[in-house]
Chain A
Amino acid sequence: MSLIKIEKLKKSYNEASGKLEVLKGVDLEIKQGEMIAITGESGSGKSTLLHMMGMLDSFDSGDIYYSGKQVDIKDNDLNEFRNKRIGFVFQSHYLLEDFTAEENVAMPKFLSTKDFNKSVLDSRKLLKALDLDDRRSHYPNQLSGGEQQRVAVARSLINSPEIIFADEPTGNLDSKHSDELIDLLIDLNKKHGHTFVIATHSKEIANKMDRCFNLEDGILKETTQ
């Protein structure tokens, strides 16, 4: 059974110039442990698709299934669902400024367990694994761009989610840090079997993934070589 299955997903925006159809019936099936890349030009709808798959945004029509069960944006337990089953990494790190690195990483776990000490202990383990042990007490503005993004990756992993959506995770990084981050994600996938869906402009990054898709004119096409 697929981990996530999308059928005929449509999304449009009402703009001054008229209705803009961003997704015109997207179908996608992702299996556990896969690394998927979604490429496309700016404004092609990559982020929109990721946000809808991650249940952050509503869609006009179509269906999304997680492990065979249909999920709707209006579900009452959607917060809990997102917290426990989905991880996010964004182009910007979006770490909370008033919290240290370890507190930021611990946050999703703390929100679900309400046990701060246990969440921080898990957070420390994760930061150690990502080679950020000595930075755990630093605030986001005391970290480099690469470190900030690695902390954001750690935060997305803290609840051991089934799938992690990364929206242009290397968008704000230089090529060295960009390579390091992608290698880290691939390493996590290989060692722990995490499933990743990565939206990216970069063909180079896309080619490192198990499967690649291109989003153009609202249609998603597989381009795996």
Chain B
Amino acid sequence: MYTIIDRNIRNLNIPLMNKIVLFFLKKYIYSPKREWLRFDSVFMVIGILISVATLTVALSIFEGYETVLKDTILGVNSHIYIFKSGEGNLLQHNVEEIETKLQKMEGVENTSALIISQAMAVNGSRIKGSIVRGIDWEQTELPSKYRKFVLEGTWKLDTGNSAVLGYKLAKELNLKLGDTFKLISPLNSKITPMGLKPKEESFTLVGLYKSGMYEYDSKFIFIDINRMAEFNSMENEFTMVEVKMKPEWIDRADYIAYAWEHEFDYKYQISSWIDFNSNLFALLKMEKWVIFIILSFLILIASFNVVSSVSTSIIEKRTELGILKAFGASDKILQKIFVGKTMILAFLSVTLGQVLGILLAKFLSWQKFLVLKGDVYFLDKINVQFGFMSWLIILCVSMLIVFAASLIPLKKISKLNITNIIRKA
């Protein structure tokens, strides 16, 4: 097969088109007989269309998943995290030094210090392990999209012990807006005559947080940074400084983090979102292309219809081919006409397949009966996205496979015996 294709490609003497070929293709498109509506052509189109649509749906879902996951992770966590090197937390003067220096750095959009710790959230008999984030919620531009993700209640943490909970966590604790719950921190236990007593405080649920990422929505509790400092006995101490980068710098966050470590004389441990999530995104990318390769075999199978359709067309048109050859048409010209016809149909099929695939993918993201398991897939909703590169790659790969398949039967044209055709016709 390879040899046949290779030889035929050489015979075709690409670039393919010339005036004669274009003239015949125009005739083919506007032919009153609608040759392209022939039974075998229609099946060829359907085969390519379905396989391309399947490939498009799969890639759209993968791309949508990857994009939304990235947006969510970055929305919650910001881009660069600065911790104290070694033991202990950042102190007030450390934060001031960092923020002063970062203000002069290129690519930095905003920064914020916060306190993070683990605690148990308790409502009656329900207990859940949670991550408590003490944030400076009054800061207009936080590195994380905290305000955007509070979908119910208020994001303001100004009244006493108010707290915003991930909506899944609230559901698991059976909490509604306005309810109170307890936060228990074993790390801040006090020695009492009765033994160790963990730190315990009541908070009121004022808002529900929904990032779309299961891990965050089922674990996060947000409280005011000053309350957090009191609760954790961390006055003038901070866990880290979060940094939000300008969009064009986000994908270089790991290099920037590395450079900043040197800039700050290695006093701080600086990490980026890429350091924490690179394996996940590398895996997603690899899975996407593995799926692409596997599903491309569908197009390969559909291309068998192309071989059959071109062969049938050559047999049906053998008299015309014989006459054209008798009047001086070269095999190359005739082969180009057949390849051209096939490529027109293939282009239409691939384009329609992509449109159908996008519509199907949109339907999947819109429907409610098929949902992802959030605890397994991080996100609980099917998201779709279809980028220009995916469109281009599917188009090129499909057209290439169809082109190669269309070359296989072309040898029949050069083997046509003019005198046999004239006599039999």
A residues apposed to B, CB below 8 Å: 47-48, 51, 54, 56-57, 79-80, 82-84, 88, 90, 92, 94, 96-99, 107-108, 110-112, 114-116, 155
Complex CA distance for A110 and B21, rounded to whole angstroms: 11
Question: How many A-B pairs with Cβ below 8 Å?
Answer: 64
- Knowing A51-B419, A99-B27, say if A79 contacts B328 (CB, 8 Å): yes
**Among A84, A94, A98, contact of B27 (Cβ-Cβ < 8 Å):** A98
Q: SS class of chain B's interface: helix, strand, loop or mixed? A: helix
Question: B302-360: which residues lie under 8 A (CB-CB) from chain A?
Answer: 319-320, 323-330, 333
Complex CA distance for A67 and B324, rounded to whole angstroms: 25
Q: Are A114 and B18 in contact (CB under 8 A)?
A: yes
Q: Are B19 and A107 in contact (CB under 8 A)?
A: no
Q: Are B328 and A94 in contact (CB under 8 A)?
A: no
Complex CA distance for A92 and B323, rounded to whole angstroms: 11
- Knowing A82-B327, A84-B328, A96-B320, say if A110 contacts B31 (CB, 8 Å): no
Complex CA distance for A57 and B423, rounded to whole angstroms: 12
Contacts of A80 in B (CB 8 A): 328
Q: Are B326 and A88 in contact (CB under 8 A)?
A: yes
Q: Are B327 and A111 in contact (CB under 8 A)?
A: yes
B414 to chain A, nearest CB (A): 11
Most buried by B among A80, A94, A97, A111: A94
Contacts of B425 in A (CB 8 A): 92, 94
Q: Are B419 and A79 in contact (CB under 8 A)?
A: no
Q: How large is the interface on B (under 10, 10 to 19, 20 to 34, 35 or more residues)?
A: 20 to 34
Complex CA distance for A114 and B19, rounded to whole angstroms: 6
Q: Are A116 and B27 in contact (CB under 8 A)?
A: no
Q: Are A111 and B19 in contact (CB under 8 A)?
A: no
Most buried by B among A90, A96, A99, A155: A96
Contacts of B27 in A (CB 8 A): 98-99
Complex CA distance for A107 and B324, rounded to whole angstroms: 8
Task: Please give me the residue from chain A that is nearest to B30 by CB atom.
Answer: A98
Task: Please give me the residue from chain B that is nearest to A85 by CB atom.
Answer: B328
Q: Pull 23 A–B residue pairs with CB atoms less than 8 Å apart, ordered by A.
A: A51-B419, A56-B418, A56-B422, A57-B418, A79-B325, A79-B328, A79-B330, A92-B425, A94-B319, A94-B425, A96-B320, A97-B33, A98-B27, A98-B33, A98-B35, A108-B327, A108-B328, A110-B20, A111-B20, A111-B324, A111-B328, A114-B19, A114-B20
